[in-house]
Homo-oligomer: A and B are copies of this chain.
Amino acid sequence: MAKKVVTMGELLLRLTTPGHSRFAQARSFDAIYGGAEANVAVFLANMGMDSYFLTRLPDNEIGDSAVNFIRNYGVKTDYILRGGDRVGIYFLEKGTSVRPSKVVYDRKNSSMCDIDVNDIDFETVFKDAEWFHLSGITPALGGKCILLVEKAVEYAKKKGVHISMDLNYRAKMWSYDKFESVVSKFIKDIDVCFGWLSSEEEGGTHKIADFAKQGIDLKKFENTFSNMQKRYRIKYMVTTLRENYSADNNALSALIYDGKELYQSNKYNFTIKDRVGTGDAFAAGLIYKLANGADFREALEFGVASGVFKHTIEGDFNICTEDEIMTLVNGNTSGSVQR
């Protein structure tokens, strides 16, 4: 019987210019629906888990289309609330070579921002659930979402559900101080934490960085993780390490810390079709393996391979099979046809 997992977050309409064309050239947009947490939900459904997504969408045709879009990939949409004004939007222009991708956000005042925590029947939501995943983007949506996150984590914890959170601090959405004060309230209930909370003074200066240029200081990472874990008693601290060579070519590896060992995964070099959702694919891969009892090192390797694989797929979702990810984990990255 498939294990139940719940993810919660916003589902956005992504409007991408065709190919690599610039915004000013576009006479159409490719339209998909996605978002950090939904991307995780889809991957887990692909892996055969009983994957539920919790969000709020307007009761109009755009909201309907968003529901259909993730249902297509096997996500259970029973817990989605309907109401409010709009689906949040982001416009994407995919870069290439020396030209970076560009994102224009138009996500304010979405239905999710206006969610009422009392409309959710957490009892049902977390019934028989094995895992709950959320991200730091949700509380950045405002007061109602902060309440939502607090309640959800509290309830999940009470029901004995494992909890993972991708901190995902977005400087454009709120201040670091606010972020920290909100997250620190419930972070002690998190089992797996992607990223870390820590001011520069404490030596936690590992912001999202380009490791292609500055190299990786494992000692510093161990220090940051260790401090944070001691403070918040998190089981696993995790992060990816990305090296940007161009908009088409990156390398990726990852770190996990369990309080004793800092384990670094294999590193992959690859070319890129679509970079969006690759961090989510990484998180989802790791969660999938941990939720199914794997060793944390094995889980990390599966996570990184999942993140790498996602770069080859258009859209937000890592549409694939467990076998395809395992091919990478097993060292075959030659991309040769199977006839």
Contact = CB atoms under 8 A, between A and B. Distances in A.
Interface stretch (A24-32, A157-165, A174-182, A197-205): A24-32
B246 A61 contact: no
A322 interface: no
A93 B31 CA distance: 14
A308 interface: yes
Interface string A189-219: 0000000000000000000001011000000
A285 to B, nearest CB: 14
Contacts of A91: 61-62
A336 B210 contact: yes
Contacts of A311: 97
Contacts of A147: none
**Most chain B C-beta atoms within 10 Å of own C-beta, residue among A26, A86, A100, A246:** A100
A143 interface: no
Q: How large is the interface on A (under 10, 10 to 19, 20 to 34, 35 or more residues)?
A: 35 or more
A306 to B, nearest CB: 11
Interface in A106-126: 106, 108-109
B319 A25 contact: yes
Contacts of A25: 314-315, 319
A86 B106 contact: yes
Interface string A58-98: 00111011001101111000000000011101010101111
A106 B106 CA distance: 11
Top 8 A-B pairs, shortest CB-CB distance? A247-B335, A72-B72, A244-B334, A23-B61, A99-B312, A244-B336, A98-B333, A97-B271
Interface of A: 15, 19-32, 60-62, 64-65, 68-69, 71-74, 85-87, 89, 91, 93, 95-104, 106, 108-109, 170, 172, 210, 212-213, 244-248, 268, 270-273, 275, 308-309, 311-315, 319-320, 324, 327-328, 333-339
